[in-house]
Each structure stands twice: as C-alpha cells, then as structure tokens.
Chains A and B, each alone.
Chain A
Amino acid sequence: MINTQSMASVVVTLLLLGNAGSATLLWAQTSRPGRLDREVRDALRTGLHVRFHQADGQSDERVTRLAALYVDPLAAPTPFLQETAFTATLTGYFKMRLQGEHEVSFRGQGAARLFVNGQEVMAIPPGDLSAAPPATVAFVKGYNQLRIEYTSPSDPHVASQLRMYWRGDEFPWEPLPPTELFYDSREESLQGATRLREGRLLVAENHCFRCHQEPATLPSVESLADTGMPELAQHAPSLENAGLRFRRDWLVSWILDPRALHNRSTMPRLLSNDLEARQQAADIASYLLATGTTQADLAGGDRALGEQLFEDRGCIACHRFTPPAAKDDFDRVSLHFVAAKYSTASLAAFLQDPRQHFAWSRMPRIPLKENECQALAAFIHARSAGELPPVAIAGDPAKGSELFVTIGCANCHQFNSNIKPQPRIAAWTSQSLTQGCLGHHHDRAPEFPFTDAQLTAMRAFLATDLASFGRVSPAEFAERQWRVMSCRACHGRDDEEANLPYVLLEEGTQGIAPEPVPDLTWAGEKLQPAWTKRLFAGELPYRPRPHFKIRMPALPARGALLAVGLSHEHGFAVDENPQPAFQAELAQVGDQVAAMQGGLACHRCHAIGDQQATAPFEARSTNLSYATERLRYEFYHRWLRDPLRIDRNTKMIQFAQDGQRTALDTFYDGDARKQFESVWHYLLRLNQRQRARP
C-alpha cells in the first residue's frame, strides 16, 4: 500500500484556549496535501488531459472525460495521428472528498502504469489489464495528482482499450467518476491541439471545399466523406421548393445578412448592403421563389396548446423569441424572425420534418402530431415579433439565376439540377490564410461570421496536411455532438447541468417538469450502442419513457457514429457487454424476486410490456420489457446496487441499503447481487417475449 499522504508535511499545533466553542481547544492541525492554489483551481476543468505519442515522433493531445480510452484495431488513436501503435498519458487530478484508502484497477488491453501524487502505484505489463491485481491507494483529501501511462497493444489487430476503476468500503468497482476528474486547462500544448480540432470542424462545417479545391496531397472530399470526418458529408440546406416555404421579404434580408436574422447561422454574407446588393438579393429571391407561392397561414392552430407544447416538448430549451443579437444565457436560437420567414402552414410543415431539406440540420426531428405542429406554429408565429422592411424593388429571376451561380450560392445549395456551380478555386496556400474568407477584408469573398479565435483555429488547421480529414475518431465525434447538437439543452452531464430546468424556472409557465431528463454522465457505459443507434435513428418502436412530455429527438445523420463514440468515450467496445448465458431457472426466480407479491415490486414503478406500472406515484420509469436490450449488464448491476450513487436525483429505490442485502430474505438469503442477477434473467425473458410479439 502506498501512503501518498506522507509526501505532505503535517504540523500539529497544541493550542490552549480558543473561541471555538464551549469547550477548551485541545488540538488543531494545519497544512494539508491535496490543496491547490486558487489560480490552479480556477483553471481546472473536468476531464483528464491525454497526450498521445507515436514512434515516429508524432504527438497529439486532447481531453477525455473519463479515465478511459478505446481505439478500434487498425485505427488511429486520434485524427491527427497515424494508424499505428501509440502511448497515451492521461494526467490530471482526482478529487477526493475525504482522505482514505481505496483499491484501484484497470480493464482493457495494453500496458499501463499508474502514478498517484507522484508515486507509482501500479505497473501492468502488456496484455490483459484486468489480469493485474488491484492496488490499494491512500488518497488525500482534495486533489490527487493522477498520471496513467498507457501503451497500446503491439498487435495492431487488437483494440487499444483502457478503463480505470476504483472501489471502497461502501461501493464496488466502478469507473472513476468524471465529476471528480480535473485537468489544468492552461496547458498551451493542449490549447493548441484543441484549436486544431476547432479549425478542422469549422472547415468541414462551413463547406470550404465547395469553393476551394483540396490540396494535392488530399483525396477528394467526396471520397473522404464516406470514411473520414463525418461532417465532410454535410451539405448546405437544399433550396428546393423555396417558393413554397419562404416569404420574399425575409429571403431578401436573409441573403443580405443571414446572421442578422439567425444568431447561429453559418451562412456567409455574399453581398454588401448597398442598393445594388439589395437589387441583387431581390433578383435571387425572385429566382428562388419562382418555384411557387408561400403556403397561406393556417386557419386554426391552438396557441394555448402551442405554448404548453413549447415547454413540454422542450423547444424552450433551444429557442427564444428575443432578437438574434440579444444576449441569452443559454445560447439559444432566436425565433424572432420566424414569422417573417414562414407562414404558419409552412412552419407547421417544417416542424413535421425539419430535415426534409437539410439532413444535417441541428434542428432535430421531434415526434409531433399534426395538430401539435400546427399549435406550435400558431404559438411561435404569435410570439415571433421580428419585422423586416418590405422589399419594394422588384426582382429579376433571370438575373437572379445568374447571380445564384456567380456569387457562389450554387456551390453549396441544391436548387435546380440544371445549374452548374462555379468551378472551385485553387487550394489555399500559407500566404492566403489571412486573405479572402479568412481575412479581415473580404473584397469579393464571402463574409463568414467567424470570430478571431475561429479564424486562428482555421488558419492553424489549414496549415496542417489535412490528413486528419481522412480519419475518424468516434469518441471525438461524440464529444463534438454534445456541443453542436446542444445536448445540454435537455441533458446534464458531469458537472454541467441541463439548461432546460433553468429555462423553465426563469421563463416557463408550468415550473420544472417533474420528470428529469436522464443525465448522460454514464451514458456510454450504461447504454448498449446497438440500442442507442436505433434510438438516434428514430427507429425504436417505443418510447423509452412514454410518460415524459418531452421527446427525445431523432438524429439519423449523426446517430450511428454517435452511438459508437459514446461507447468508445467510456472505454467500451461497441459490442462489449459480457454477461452469463440466459438461464431459465434464474429467470423463474427473478420473476418472483421482481414480483409485486413477496418480491421487490418492480412493476410498482416500471411498466412491463403494455401493462402500466401499478403504483408509480411520482416515480414512473422505463419499461422492464426493454431493459436488457437497453442496458449493459454490468451497469445494470451497478445501478441496482446503488442508484443514488449514480444519480442522486433518481427516485429509483435503493433496495440494498448496505449494498449487500435487500430486505427480501426469502431469496438467496437476501443476497442482493444474486437477486439482481436473477431479475436480469427475468428481464431477458421479458425482452425475448416482447420481441416475439407481433
């Protein structure tokens, strides 16, 4: 056992009298390990800093939320490295609430060394990391320096995998909680690597290759889109049937200055704002709108219902009605000009399928009934107060058609298959990185709403060989989606609380929803990727929590890789879910353990198939018939043993109060693990039968 406390000096002071309280002061102790200067503490962020190195001297860095890694066989550990062996050094702090001894261990493949507070605790030779015996570590209270040196397997056909676990007197083996892992965000090299990733994403998402040729060293973007960075596959929204969807005044204003109407638009300004530009915008608008006439406003639409749905379905978490330029604590998308853009009919149609014209839209498709779409459209229209100046000048569709090509619209947007976009211009050079789109003087180049930091990031990335476009890291992709798709609007994770409760508190009319949207801190460990793929694809034939008013949107364009990435982020292979084979006898016992009579009464809060929970009160939860296709086996056990340790807001009952035994002593003498195991087999049987149903 390594006592890391010994590194700190301890000063014991004998005091005679004090004002501490009613009794006389006897002992006091000062000077403690685990403390960090305020400057350091302020710079800490949750996660660990990972430095990757390869034999050819290449290196990369990033942040990982957990003490975990997973890289598929023959894959590169990061997009900026080769598909070869690597070492990864995870550093940071593990924060402890109290000093004390705990055991630590690893799972995965490769070699690992663990250092806590500068002292080596474990050194595991290459191979199966779980084969190494656990080590006991005396953690200090506060911040314990953590350093994990990991070496990938020498066999490239073996996945590189690392997961660090710990356990204590009161809890069994579990991954180190990401809420207690911290890294120093001031590390310049890490900031540089983060900048590269930011630039890489910006180049991909802003469709730079629509106008620019790839460097000669890079394959075509079309070919990379299938195997490389997924965002390269993004297309700008199709303008098909624009005439049926958009109002003319709005379209003219949009062409002139998209950011003025939509605070998160990535569309560049292509025209200036002078009189000639307005005429050109009117021409383009006339051209686009010649395809039809905007649908008329709906006759009905229940605004009151719409207002309720705006909260219930969670729209309020991502949208606001204040002008685009107005400050918003939650960085939501302004709907100020939606009424200027859409009729209620076209808005309702958009809500029915937001991705009809833009598969990669950040606006997710939320399952809504037709009347709900109409009600929402009516409400949003009524609240959308943005007015645009009427465009008095007539547009010339013929000129618009020409302009659509010449100013570059056709390079990004689909509209008419007969249109041929402008030829792409030459790839950028190191000299051109401060010019054109990336310069401060745009001349004839599109004017993107890039910040200085974004420009710096793009320039840094474009100075690389761009080979990273050809590689995909599911874990990094998943992490990007957390931000890009505003998952936090509804979900909490690690130390980040979901926005939705805040928004509802401040702006809602109905208070915080009683049903908490699941926290995603453990999502990658908890959920089976095969299930999350179906969830994200919108292919689940049921809603996991049908009692929730809010709806989990489908993310079909991103879902498959996101599901993989979530799993990898937690150090799990996609299909990793070891568990014992189904045993019918255990299922029989589990049926009784879970039963209402003489059991743990799981059905009290959980539905089974189409049978509703019998007495859920305010704790209605997921359907047991789907549990085993949704949850990983080991997580199921971890959850059953101590749900409040995983989610302190859960209403799930902790049946094993001491972690060992339940109050149900009629099965396995109250042994909680055995009882929960039997229930797992019962759940497997429920799932088999649910799947067999027509």
Chain B
Amino acid sequence: MIRIAYLLLFTAGIFAGIFAGIFAGIFSARQVCGQTVRPDDPGAPDNRNFARETDGRWNEMQIGPFIASVLETPTTTVAKCLSMQLDDAASAFAAYDTKTGSFRAAWTGAFVKFGTQKFGITSAPQMAGPVFHACSGPAWGDARVHYHGLYQHGHRLVLSYAVDDARVLEAPSCDASASPVALLRTFSISPHKSELRLLACDSVTALRMVERQPQRTIGAVAKWGAQPLSITVRWGDDNAILPASEETYLELRFPPADETLTFTLSVQPGNAGVLPPADAAERIRKLTEPGEPLWNETLRTAGTRGEQDGPFQIDTLTLPFDNPYKALLFVGGHDFFANGDIAVCTLHGDVWSIRGVDDELRDLQWRRFATGLHQPLGLKIVDDKVHVLGRDQITRLHDRNNDGEADYYENVNNDGATSTGGHDFAACLETDADGNFYYIRAHEGVVKVSADGTTHESLAVGFRNPIGLGVGPDGMITASPQEGNWTPASAIFEVKRGGYYGFGGPRITPHRPLGYDPPICWLPRIQDNSSGGKVWVTSDRWGPLQGSLLHLSYGQCAMMLTTVEHVRGVAQGGTVRFPFYFESGVMRGRFSPRDGQLYVSGMLGWQTSAAKDGCLQRVRYTGAPVHLPIALQVRPHGIELTFTNKLDPDSAADPDNYDVQWWNYRYSEDYGSKDFRVSEPKRFGRDEVYVEEATLLSDGRTVYLELEDMQPVMQMQIVFSITAADGTPIKHTIYNTINAVPAEE
C-alpha cells in the first residue's frame, strides 16, 4: 500500500533565500579559490612570486575517492562530512553527514577545492562544481543512528550504519550515461522490528508524486531552486516502501520486516527521471567486498644515521616527499606494528605503512595504506590494527584482503563534537593499560573513549589549542596547552578527572583557589613556544632515562626531559632540553618494540622553527654516558638536582656554577603573560635567587642548592655549567615550577 501525505515544512520565502545562498556560495567559493597571483615577470618593478607565498599543494594531491572534512553545502554546514566520488571516472560527487547517516549534497564538475592559506588546514574545502541536489534534514528522523564505517571497493564506497535495530548499507553512485548525470543511492536494510523512515529528498518545492514504471517503482518531481528534479525509487519486494511526501520533501517509510530490503533511489535534474537499476542487492554485496588496491606503488627511501657527538644519535627515516600521488607528508602521528613496521598518519588525510625499519634504514618501503581521513593528528596501533584520530572520529582501519591498503574504515567512536571552526584539531591518540583511548582537543579537553568505543567522556578541560598529551605506563595523563589568552605560558599539566586548566577564565572553588589547577611546570617561550605530545621512556634500551617523561616541543623542534615529583599531592617539576633538534615540529613519540629506540614525528602547520613539511626520526641512544639532570626535588630550603652520572665534586659544589632566577606569570585574558617579579608581584621582571651553597651529596650525582627564601613560584630558571666526574662539561638550563614547598622534616 502506498500512502501519500503532504506536509508543509518551509515557506517559499525561505527557499528563495536558501537558493540565493546556494548560488552566491558557489560563486563566492570560486572567488575564494582563485588566487590573486602576480605574474613573475623579472622585468617588472614588482615581480614577487606570491604563488609561492601561499600553499595550494593539497589541490594537486591525489586525495583518493573520498575525503572527510567539514563541508558547507548549499543548505547546511556539515561538521562530520564524508565527500566521495560516485564512479571510477569521477563523473559526480556526493557528500554525507556520517553522524546522522544523511545525504547532504550531490554535484558534478570537480571534486573539492582546498584553501591555500595555512596549508589548507584551517578552512573547510569547498565543492568544486555545480550542485544539483542537496538535503538538510536528518535522514532517519528520530531513529538512533550510529555510523559503523565505510567499505571501500576501488573508487566506490558503501556506508554502514545502525539505524535503531537495523543495519543499513548505502552505496552511493551515479549513472553517468544519463544526461544529465543522475545520483544513485543503493540501500540494503536488514530485518528490523520498528518502522524506519528515510528522508529521500528535502529542500525542494512543488514536489508531487508521478507515475513510474515498472512495478515497485515510485516517482516524484519537484523543483530545486528553479531547476526541475526527478526522484525515482525502485525496489524488489511488494509493499516494502511507503512514500510520504509534502511539497517540500519526500520520505520513504519501511514497515517492520523480517528480511533484508534492498532498493535504489535516483535523483536527476529534469522531469524525466532515471530508472534505477534493479540489482541493488548485488551491488551492495559486491561493493562491500575489498576491491583492487589504488596505491600499488611501493616507494623506497633511504634513511640516514646520525653522526653527531654525544650519546644520542638522530637518525632520519626519509619521507617520500617526492611521490607519484603528490601526497603531502605532514606527519601527525605514528606507531609500530608488532613486527616493528610503522604506520604514520598525515594531516592531509593519509595513512602510510613503512617496512624495512631496521638499524641501517637503508631500504624503507612506503605504501599508502589509507586516504581521505579528516586531518588526522593521532595514530595508535592496537592489536596490530591502525587506529587513527581525525577531527570527526577514531577510525580503525581494516585490510581484509591483506593487499596493503585499508578497505574498511571502521568508526570506533564519533561522539566527540566536531566544530566547524578552523582550529579545532583533535590530536594525539593514546591508550592506557586497559586499552581505553585518550585524545585532546580544545573544546572537549582530554577525552577518554572506552576500548570498545562505546563510551566517550571529557575528563578535563581548559586547554588552549592543545596538540599533544601523554599517557604513562601507570596511567598518569599529561597534556599541554599553548600560550595565549587565559594561558600565560605553555605548560605541562597532570590531568585529573574533573580538572580545569585555565583556558576560558577562572573557575574558582575552595579546592581551586587559583581558578585553575596548577601545572607540573610552566614553559617560558624561550623553552617552548608551542608544545607537542609526551612520551614516557618505557624502553630498557634507554637505561639511565628509563621511566622518565619526555616532552616534545612542536614550536622549537626539540625534546625535553621532564622531571615530576609530588609534594602534598600536587605534581611539580621542570624541563631540560636535549641537545638536538628535529627536522620538523615534533608532536609524537613512540618507542619501537623492535629496537627499543624512540621514534618521533612532526610537521609544519602553526608557528614553528621547522622548515620541512614533516619528519619521522629516530632518537637512538648509543649507550654512551648521559649527563642530564633526571630528577628535581624541592626541599624546604633549596633544590636537589639528581644527575644521571657522578659529578666532579669541585665543580658541582661551586655555587658560582649555578644561576637561579624566578618569576611569576599573570593569569588573565591577555595573550600570554609578562614575567612578574616574585619579590614585587606587580612589577615586571625576574628575581635573582641567591645560591647560598651548592653541595654534592653522598651519591655523588645529586647536588643540593641551598636557596634563600624558598616559596611557591610559577617559574624558576636554574642555569648551571658544571663538570661530570669523567670530565664532561654539563651545561643546561632547567625551567621548573614550585607549586608546594615541603615542610621541614
């Protein structure tokens, strides 16, 4: 039985506005896309090559058959949008809201166009062709929708959802032989116990049902703007679909069913309409199987081994910047498979696998494993499966036919809100011992997702533009914000459930008198202007540093050892830099299960001294003596610094080899903070702290600095130039924070 109902949802006036916006949007998009590029004419008085001053390389990249992004369609802005090409020839394209399982737009021409400012990462891509159909309403009404993921078969996709108790598969495609090209949406709906409703079409006017042949086919015509539009649905079983429509929409209703229902819906500009093919079930079956790989080439690079002085060598796993896909390699994260192979994700949507990661790094083999992810900035391998964190979701990548490419992109969890703002990056995917996932983003703070992906919890908030965190072997979570408003300096926080770390203004409670929970340590700009992630030294190959916390500086391409102690339940510590630098802004670090060495990765993107798009480098500890302070403990009248090795007594006990200063910051909505004297809290500047005595303690590697007037301070700077017992000069600067001074014993 077919029942037709007409409901009036929108006024014609609203539609007029929408369509005016549609076309204005298209044209303004073209204007935005077009760069004002001055010709490079050497003879002209002004021949600067401004083409090189922007960066539109993303537009030259073969991004693959789909891309997850924020997308502005003619009728709405989609935060978790998946845009895809609809056939091998890229005749047409469609965009879906994966959060609600809703179709959003279809267009022809070209796929998407990325911005050219800031590498395209802070503006949403735009549809690069004329839109012929768009929807804005939720596809499945009030039903509970959960996105399972997408199956990839060559250039074709099948989207998988749970809609209430039904499993829904949708294979978007197009009929390029039709003129004009028609959108085809092939569905498979599993048996279900309650009625389901699919919004087949909205955002139209003057919709009316029309006769269509053969049987079990319904049709409708409407107007999309001034353009006629035909909608045709064809299915194979009697009474399976009940259309309900009004002038502005067409809805398909599916009564409870005991068998799987398959059907195809076509949408074509014009009044004629395209009869959808009758092979819906076969299409779905075929397309959910893995297809042929798209990125067959194995790229080979030769890495380099460091030859610098000192116990740490920086080896470089050379990235295949010059690759046939013009894929950009802004490395957002990496991790190891059990066999020591590596997977890296890149900010522009890819995951690459790397084989041949041995001591010599002579033959690194790169395969493009996955594409189209939403600016991934975190990657974790769990049970030898790659998990990638995008701005939309955590995705588990499956290579079901083991051909070296992912063919099922499983959504582990997409409960986090994806804002449409340009700077809302989700970053740094980590796990704890129980397999729970953690990541960080500005508006949600530190997020915990259960190992099975079913729960999503914001643990703590108040981080300004964070891009990194760390989860220790004992579950200790550390995270960093970036200096700015309500963040007087970059910092390292120990994250506690319910914690608040300042960004957003003070939240004063009896237990939070500062208005924020204090950090382990603040980081002055000279030490770190933009903080990355953290990594705990879990490798026994890093003997003297095992168990230490390492902090990565994105802004300065550097790594720091971080000391942590707890005094009266409050964490505090400091950082000291390692004497080496990386090729790009490092954010992630992992120890290899194969060689026990640290591998770090990073990229360009924001303010950094980096010059390369990305890097993947190994910090190889050679076993030679390390001379670093590995512990800092605040005492009632001074500081104890413990070093990795024994110190020269004369040098260590000479207070003239130490310089100590301290200062505070002002927590305010101003951008960052000046230094404020501890002695005169309203005056800018720093105080010198008189080193009364320097004493080498009996272990021979701990120096006690007796300081005048110990007190809590936001920032202490300890500079020293001493000598190890073996004669090695040790010159470092520690920046630490004193939240609490222990009482006299």
Contact = CB atoms under 8 A, between A and B. Distances in A.
A614 B53 contact: yes
Top 6 A-B pairs, shortest CB-CB distance: A23-B697, A664-B611, A24-B698, A27-B653, A141-B656, A20-B704
Interface string A511-527: 11010000000000000
Contacts of A268: none
A358 interface: no
A29 B655 contact: yes
A23 B46 contact: no
B526 interface: yes
B670 A140 contact: no
A515 to B, nearest CB: 9
B606 interface: yes
B695 A28 contact: yes
Contacts of A99: 654, 656-657, 721
Nearest to B45: A692
Given A26-B698, A614-B118, A653-B608, A20 B635 contact: yes
A299 interface: no
A654 interface: yes
Contacts of B583: 663, 665
B254 interface: no
B666 to A, nearest CB: 8
B557 A26 contact: no
Interface string A590-603: 01100111111101
B640 interface: yes
Contacts of A596: 52-55
Interface of B: 45-50, 52-55, 57, 117-118, 122, 484, 524-526, 529, 555-558, 579, 581-584, 604, 606-612, 633, 635, 638, 640, 649-650, 652-659, 666, 668-671, 674, 682-685, 693-700, 702, 704, 706, 719-721, 731
9 contacts: A29-B693, A98-B721, A502-B684, A598-B611, A600-B611, A619-B607, A653-B609, A655-B611, A662-B609
B525 to A, nearest CB: 7
B671 A663 contact: no
Nearest to B556: A657
Contacts of B555: 653
A565 interface: no
A100 B721 CA distance: 8
Contacts of B638: 20-21
Given A98-B721, A664-B611, 20 more contacts: A20-B638, A22-B702, A26-B698, A27-B653, A27-B696, A29-B650, A32-B655, A98-B656, A99-B657, A497-B685, A511-B669, A597-B57, A604-B607, A605-B607, A648-B525, A653-B609, A654-B609, A655-B611, A663-B582, A663-B610
A690 B584 CA distance: 33
A648 B484 CA distance: 16
B558 A29 contact: no
B559 to A, nearest CB: 11
Chain A interface, >50% SS class: loop
Contacts of B57: 597
Contact of B611 (A22, A169, A663): A663
A686 B57 CA distance: 25
Contacts of A653: 529, 555, 607-609
Q: How large is the interface on A (under 10, 10 to 19, 20 to 34, 35 or more residues)?
A: 35 or more
Interface in A640-658: 644, 648-649, 651, 653-655, 657-658
Contacts of B658: 98
A276 interface: no
A6 B581 CA distance: 38
Listed residue (B638, B683, B697, B731) with the most chain A CB atoms within 10 angstroms of its CB? B697
Contacts of A497: 683-685
Contacts of A169: 731
Contacts, number: 193
Nearest to A515: B671
Interface in A495-520: 495, 497, 501-502, 505, 511-512, 514
B581 A20 contact: no
Contacts of B582: 663
A21 B526 contact: no
Given A648-B526, A663-B557, A689-B46, A22 B697 contact: yes
B653 A29 contact: yes
Interface string A659-694: 000111100000000000000000000100110110
Nearest to B691: A141
A444 interface: no
A330 to B, nearest CB: 13
A605 B53 CA distance: 11
A306 interface: no
A127 interface: no
A20 B638 CA distance: 8
Listed residue (B653, B694, B720) with the most chain A CB atoms within 10 angstroms of its CB? B653
Listed residue (A512, A601, A618, A663) with the most chain B CB atoms within 10 angstroms of its CB? A663
Contact of B49 (A591, A648, A662): A591
B45 A27 contact: no
A502 B706 CA distance: 33
Nearest to B581: A657
B702 A21 contact: yes
A421 interface: no
Contacts of B529: 651, 653
B49 A512 contact: no
A617 interface: yes
A663 B53 contact: no
A229 interface: no
Nearest to B555: A653
A43 interface: no
Given A100-B721, A512-B670, A693 B45 contact: yes
B676 to A, nearest CB: 10
Contacts of B702: 21-23
Nearest to A591: B49
B684 A26 contact: no
Contact of B47 (A22, A511, A689): A689
Contacts of B611: 598-601, 655, 662-665
Contacts of A495: 685
A148 to B, nearest CB: 24
A97 B674 contact: no
Contacts of B693: 28-30
Contact of B48 (A24, A608, A644): A608
A427 interface: no
Contact of A655 (B53, B609, B682, B704): B609
A591 B53 CA distance: 10
B654 A23 contact: no
Listed residue (A608, A651, A692) with the most chain B CB atoms within 10 angstroms of its CB? A651
Contacts of A367: none
A120 B549 CA distance: 48
A597 B52 contact: yes
Contacts of A98: 656-659, 719-721
Contact of B525 (A100, A591, A649): A649
B41 to A, nearest CB: 11
B667 to A, nearest CB: 12
Contacts of A32: 655-656
A21 B745 CA distance: 10
B607 A617 contact: yes
A27 B695 contact: yes
A578 interface: no
A655 B654 CA distance: 34
A26 B524 CA distance: 34
Contacts of A618: 484, 671
Given A512-B670, A596-B53, A658-B581, A26 B695 contact: yes
A119 B48 CA distance: 56
Given A21-B704, A511-B670, A27 B53 contact: no
A417 interface: no
Contacts of B525: 644, 648-649, 651
Contacts of A603: 53
Contact of B698 (A23, A97, A604): A23
A451 interface: no
